[in-house]
Amino acid sequence: MIFLHHRNAKEVASAYRNGEELECSSRDLSEAFWSLCNIYPEELIIWIDDEVKVELNDDLTEIFPHDLVMSSYSIVSQYLPETIGYVDQLPFVNPDYDAKYPTWRMSTDLGGIKAKTALQFQSIYGDIKNFGLLLNSMARTGQQNSLFCYSDPSFVKTLSPVPDEFKASTGEVFNFVAMHYKREWLLVLLFCYWKFEKKFPVFFFLHGLGHRSFFKKIVDLSSISLESGEIDLNKETVDVIIPTMGRPGHLKNVLEDLKSQDHQPSKVIIVEQEPDRNSQTQLDFLVKNGWPFEIVHHFIRRTGACNARNLALQSVNADYVFFADDDIRFPSDLLSQSLKELNRLKVGALNLNCLQPSGKTIFHKIKQWGAFGSGTSIVKSEYALKCKFAEVLEHGFGEDIDYGLKLRSQGSDIIYHPRIKISHLKADIGGFRGIQKPEWEKATLKPKPSPTMMLLVKRYYSVKMMRGYKVSLFLKYYREQPVKNPFHYFKLMQERWNVSEEWAKKLLDRTNSNLNSSHE
């Protein structure tokens, strides 16, 4: 392990390997970083700002369980300011600093990467002198190419407050967006600076238009192999959760696929929802057929997948939870391969490649995922059981996004895996979404966005992310609706936004009222 000490992300202060001081070829931090990576490719390079006073944990190697990890921790500063939220609203932009959290936003305060992994980026970013820009560019590109990037408080013995110092200038923000996003986001960024920052940096905007782009840059990290590790599948248990409604034939097929698994689940928890008080269960085959796993069957009158999954989670006692839809099909090695990959990648959740029968894979690399599939994911129970699906989002959309954000704040990354596939039949009968239309769908002036999405925006987005989301929503939706007068359109959309906020508040107040009543 090499400790590369620096001053304000510019000048090398000192470098140590196994307690012995190294002679750096340059005092320039970026040049010294690349030099050390080339001389010591098998070493872990830890950068640390000497001007930041912090007590490191004793064993930093635990932060890097394999060579495809890049981590940092912000003690006082970040490179990019919160204005990056104007163009990006994925979870990676707004990390929870109290947990190990997936993010490409790297801090120059403290962090590390395996030298040979960093070298895969030298041909692309080797000329960048700004160390903060270098780290964030490597992470931003790397995250799309199977590099796992984190903010990790395990670096230090005492947690730091949320950083309030940002090193990148306005011009550097525009350059970063030009490098790593589609060109149209520069226009959004310019508008947001004018609207919300009371600035009009048109020079930086024009300069960004001419800047070299690395958007969707391919980096081959296949030479960085991960050890498979030893896993005794006989000791790894999986419980399966399936909410269902009106799809007995499809559900039976799912159970048959589970029955054929080369690694059998311990328990399958089925929550059958039937709102008709005069109806009986449609799942007689749960008893008649001999299944090689325990089946827990809940028959309830209340509809909604959030309530159903929360109810099912109460019966989970296995090591892992497979969140399954009731209209999917999958191969016999799905569970065993998933467990092996969870162990190899050292992560808490896998989002499996869910395709419709005629669908084709779009993303072909394992990568940190900005979403969560509540019907196609396998999660370690130590994380899953600490989270609940938000019933305020019932019968709407976004409950899976909300649950995924809760998992991340518990320290579980969510990894998309292209090679473990599920076929989603999208059955044209049954299902829980269409059973009850939200009240706002009956209104003359319909909210935009959906009030459930508005709740997520209010709960998880920073102020600048929310503003960026609003601007991009207004721009994108303009092409999809009939009002072409921009002034009339903007006024109408603002009214619909206000309606969405009002409905979101009603939903939240109603949920809080129900919670208070249940506690009395």
Reported residue count of the chain is: 520
Q: Is residue 517 pLDDT above 90, yes or no?
A: no
State how far the Cα of 301 lies from the Cα of 287, in Å rounded to an integer: 20
Rg (CA), the chain: 25
Residue 27 confidence class, pLDDT cut points 50, 70, 90? very high
Counting Cβ atoms within 10 Å, is residue 288 exposed (0-12), middle (13-18) or buried (19+)? exposed
Helix%, strand%, coil% for the chain, nearest 5: 40, 20, 40
Q: What is the pLDDT of residue 374?
A: 94
pLDDT digit string, tens, across residues 341-381: 999 999 999 999 999 988 999 999 999 999 999 999 999 99
- How far apart CA 431 and CA 285 sit, in angstroms, is 19
Name the DSSP letter for residue 28.
Answer: B
Of the candidates 246, 267, 245, the one whose C-alpha atom is nearest the C-alpha of residue 255 is 267
- The answer to whether 41 and 17 are in contact (CB under 8 A) is no
Distance CA 56, CA 486 (A): 55
Sign of CA dihedral 259, 261, 264, 267: negative
- Portion of the chain with pLDDT greater than 70, in percent: 96
For residues 275 and 79, which has the higher predicted lDDT (pLDDT)? Answer: 79
Predicted structure pTM score:
0.94
* Site of tokens 């070299």: 212
